[in-house]
Structure 1
């Protein structure tokens, strides 16, 4: 391969990697001290690369559940209901792991779901889903912490 072709290839690789880092906010800080609980109707859903997403029309009257399933208890401390003045339609991004990609075909527009998400301390303050209860009652959770989680913004 000619040097000029290699330089172009390397330049494209760096550009793509930079765009991926900017999109995913690897420098973000997700607040584990204040997880948010949302309920609502799925307005749109995508379960492909780079990560699954659910757009939710939020039920602004939703209350915190009185009990959480055992797998979601780690999110109980500091859990707060989504505040309607923040937004009535939100996009929740899920980690790019198999259990969330496997929701393809199991979550559809019009389904009622409940979610627990962590909010990014940094703009644009996207939500990263940690737990979802599907319309059929199935629950999917990502437990444990990651390097991008902080305790308080």
Structure 2
């Protein structure tokens, strides 16, 4: 009789559960009201699943083009408080690629590599205490490899402003006797408990498969 050991199925399930809840996009929110624009030369490129990552060197004279093809169809576009603003001028920035963009680029022979130039519209992850991914830049539209590559997923939670910023803005009218404006969020974003439920189902499915295989091998 084995004690104090975790079966392979349980280990895989726990890893999947932790990954789906704690990885990029699984438990955080991204500010769609303040889109950012970056352009620069790739100095590092990684296409590991589920997220690829590009580190780019942004020029000091970065300006935002008057036209950014395809952004009108992006999730969160209705919450934009204005056009994208330049981010990271004269510095290096990391761009997090969602799984669908990672998969698209990963199968292309001309995917961005070191030395290539790319541009992107991104949302910044809202800062939260204890969140190791606070402030990361998640790509919503990548202009690279001769085309435009939009994020088409639906799991990422978008807000029309980060809650901390909303509290700061709402504190002033409250202190003067006026009503505090609540932080608005998009109603079509999936509740966090759905993400947890999906992770639990996936973990349970994997555990069941491993147990079934183990019984057949006995």
TM over 0.5: yes
The question of 1:114 aligning with 2:124 is answered: no
* TM-score normalised by L of structure 2: 0.58
SS for the counterpart of 2:21 is helix
Change (3 A) 1:102 1:15: closer
* TM-score normalised by L of structure 1: 0.79
Equivalent residue for 2:103?
A: 101
The structure where helix makes up a greater share of residues is: 2
SS for the counterpart of 1:131 is strand
> Rg bigger for which structure?
2
Choose 6-15 or 140-149, whichever is displaced more: 6-15
**Deviation beyond 3 Å, 4+ runs, structure 1:** 2-9, 74-77, 143-147
| Count of aligned pairs | 147
- Contact 1:60/1:82 (8 A) holds in 2: no
The question of 1:31 aligning with 2:28 is answered: no
Change (3 A) 1:83 1:110: closer
**CA distance, structure 1, for counterparts of residue 105 and residue 11 of structure 2:** 35
Runs of 5+ in structure 1 lacking a partner? none
Change (3 A) 1:145 1:66: farther
**CA distance, structure 1, for counterparts of residue 155 and residue 50 of structure 2:** 18
Runs of 5+ in structure 2 lacking a partner? 163-218
